[in-house]
């Protein structure tokens, strides 16, 4: 989840952090260099990083809600 300003909001604890802070792998998995998960520095909850498609869909659905 993102608040639109490049800040990620953790869906579990509500903490706000930058994408670079979330890229730090806290679980120590062997895929940490190719991993597409962002880890909350506060609670460790992992969420998928946004992709081009998810950002586009978020903008599109945001416009749909605003026009209603």
Predicted confidence pLDDT, tens digits, the chain (68 residues): 555 557 889 999 999 999 888 887 655 666 666 678 888 999 989 888 888 888 788 888 876 655 55
Give the per-residue pLDDT at 35. Answer: 75
Residue 41 lies in a domain: yes
Give the per-residue pLDDT at 14. Answer: 94
Residue 16 lies in a domain: yes
Rounded to 5°, the CA angle 47-53-57 comes to 90
Residue 1 lies in a domain: no
Domain with 11, as residue range(s), is 7-67
How far is the CA of 33 from the CAs of 7, 9, 15, 28, in angstroms? 21, 22, 24, 10
Q: Give the number of domains in the chain.
A: 1
Residue 51 lies in a domain: yes
Give the per-residue pLDDT at 33. Answer: 66
Give the per-residue pLDDT at 16. Answer: 95
How far is 12 from 6, CA to CA, in rounded Å? 18
């Amino acid at each position: 989840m993102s608040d639109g300003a490049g800040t990620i909001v953790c869906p579990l604890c509500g903490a706000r952090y930058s994408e670079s802070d979330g890229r730090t792998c806290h679980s120590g998995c062997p895929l940490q260099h190719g991993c597409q998960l962002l880890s909350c520095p506060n609670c460790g909850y992992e969420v998928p990083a946004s992709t081009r498609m998810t950002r586009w869909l978020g903008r599109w659905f945001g416009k749909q809600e605003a026009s209603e």
